[in-house]
Chain A
Amino acid sequence: EAGVAQSPRYKIIEKRQSVAFWCNPISGHATLYWYQQILGQGPKLLIQFQNNGVVDDSQLPKDRFSAERLKGVDSTLKIQPAKLEDSAVYLCASSPPGTVPGELFFGEGSRLTVL
Chain B
Amino acid sequence: AQSVTQLDSQVPVFEEAPVELRCNYSSSVSVYLFWYVQYPNQGLQLLLKYLSGSTLVKGINGFEAEFNKSQTSFHLRKPSVHISDTAEYFCAASKAAGNKLTFGGGTRVLVKP
Contacts and interface: CB of A to CB of B under 8 A. Distances in A.
A93 B103 CA distance: 14
Nearest to B90: A42
Interface size class of B (residues with CB under 8 A): 20 to 34
B98 interface: yes
Interface stretch (B40-48, B56-64, B76-84): B40-48
A102 B93 contact: yes
A72 interface: no
Contacts of A107: 43
18 contacts: A33-B101, A42-B104, A42-B106, A43-B44, A44-B103, A48-B99, A93-B44, A101-B32, A101-B98, A101-B100, A102-B32, A102-B99, A103-B46, A103-B49, A104-B44, A104-B46, A106-B44, A108-B41
Contacts, number: 65
A33 B99 CA distance: 11
A14 interface: no
Interface of A: 4, 31, 33, 40-45, 48, 55-56, 91, 93, 100-104, 106-109
Nearest to B34: A102
Contacts of A41: 105-106
Contact of B99 (A55, A91, A106, A108): A55
